[in-house]
Structure 1
Amino acid sequence: MKRPSLAPLACALLLTLGAVPVVQAQGDAEAPILVEADRLDLDDRAGTAVYTGNVDIRQGSMRLTGDRVEIRRNDAGELSLATATGERAYLEQQPDPAEPVVKGWGRTVVYHVAERRVELIDRAELHQGGDIFQGGYLEYFLDRRVVQARADAEGVEGSQRIRMTLQPEQQ
């Protein structure tokens, strides 16, 4: 029986996630992929991989953590969706050595690959440079560097008011 290969799925996840905001940080694509979890359930035919138990995925400056991380591929075998869940699921990446690390938290972190969009759901928080966005639901469009925030949305417990801390631009 042929064993399914984890490498293409892991590489697709990390190469795609490592693209905040527009281009992948220099060197991330060449960096080794490190995955730690207590369990892996891989269904190659369904195009899913589910990592559970203190999941920590790293490649270069990119990091994705959660109690559970599910990765889905489309019919063409390309990564289409990555969902991390936990008390504080987390995604970070340094887009460029000259730029600060972009960090996002939520009870759920969903990365929509084709749309290049990240959803941070329930107790959501996004740090972009010195700017901080918090609320029930935050949506971050990678290519446009656009943030949309809502106090409540599906998957959010109660109403969590939007809070922003914006730093003045440096002259």
Structure 2
Amino acid sequence: MSRPVLPSLTALALGGLLLAGTALHATTATAHDARAPIEVEADRLDLDDRAGTAVYTGEVDIRQGTLRVTGDRVEIQRNAAGELSRAIATGERAYLEQQPDPAEPVVRGWGRTIVYHVAERRMELIDRAELHQRGDTFEGGYLEYFLDRRVVQARAESEGVEGRQRIRMTLQPEQ
């Protein structure tokens, strides 16, 4: 007996976007984000229930609580267990922001490709990458940021990076 398609598609298109939800650590901000309504704007949506993907195209803007993802194209992927596993935003200037904790400022990231690994709470910013965190800024070809540990790793060259983009950073003095 096959399962009904509509509930699965609805879960992927709506509940599946819970980027700040089920697989994340329960900080106050992420717990709030997980309970917040999901708002999506796009020109097109293509769902593939069997593949576990939802692809939004055309000036995509996804918001849930403190989380915002924008790009020309955003693909949401589920794993075999049906849990959200990754969000991939692409475009000339894809964007992701989230406030990891209410006492901290919003973390903002840009790149031509952004990959958000949900369970790891890790974002990869690829090609013309830029990250703003607590007044500090990082730029380069590839930036990787671990939200919970607040660890940044940067590379001038990496797969998906056009040419060599040297690392630049501005660090604010301790207050």
Fold conserved (TM > 0.5)?
Answer: yes
Question: Does residue 14 in structure 1 map to residue 18 in structure 2?
Answer: yes
Q: 2:165 aligns with which of 151, 154, 160?
A: 160
Name whichever structure is richer in helix by fraction.
2
1:6-49 superposed Cα distances (whole Å, 9 cap, x missing partner): 44223343343799997351632222110000000000111011
Cα distance in 2, alignment partners of residues 77 and 37 from structure 1: 23
Identity of aligned residues (%): 78
Partner AA of 1:70 in structure 2: E
1:30-85: per-residue Cα shift (whole Å, max 9, x none)?
A: 22110000000000111011000000000111100000001111110011111000
Residue 28 (1) aligns with residue 2 (2): no
Structure 2 residue aligned with 1:38: 43
Look up the match of 1:89.
94
In structure 2, relative to structure 1, the CA distance for the partners of 1:98 and 1:35 (3 Å cut) is same
**1:76-118 deviation digits (Å, cap 9, x = unpaired):** 0011111000000000011233211100000000012233211
Q: Which residue in 2 is equivalent to 1:133? A: 138
Contact kept in structure 1, 2:111 and 2:126, CA below 8 Å: yes
Q: 1:24 to 1:93 in 2, by over 3 A?
A: farther
CA distance in 2, matches of 1:115, 1:18: 12
8 Å contact kept, 2:42–2:59: yes
- TM-score by structure 2 length? 0.88
Of residues 48, 52, 58, the one that matches 1:53 is 58
Contact 2:21 2:33 in 1 (8 A): no
Q: Kindly indicate whether residue 81 of structure 2 is the aligned counterpart of residue 79 of structure 1.
A: no
Aligned equivalents of 1:145, 1:121: Cα separation in 2: 18
In the alignment, structure 2 segments of 5+ residues that lack a partner are none
TM superposition score normalised by structure 1: 0.90
CA–CA separation in structure 2 for the residues paired with 1:146 and 1:20:
17
The one-letter code sitting in structure 2 at the alignment partner of 1:144 is R
Structure 2 match to 1:68: 73
How many residues end up aligned between the 2 structures?
A: 170
SS in 2 for 1:16: coil
Give the unaligned 5+ runs of structure 1: none
The residue type equivalent to 1:41 in the other structure is D
Instruction: Give the counterpart of 1:109 among 103, 107, 114.
Output: 114
**Deviations, residues 119-169 of structure 1 (Å, cap 9, x unaligned):** 000000000010000000000112211100000111111100000000011
Which is worse superposed, 100-109 or 114-123?
114-123
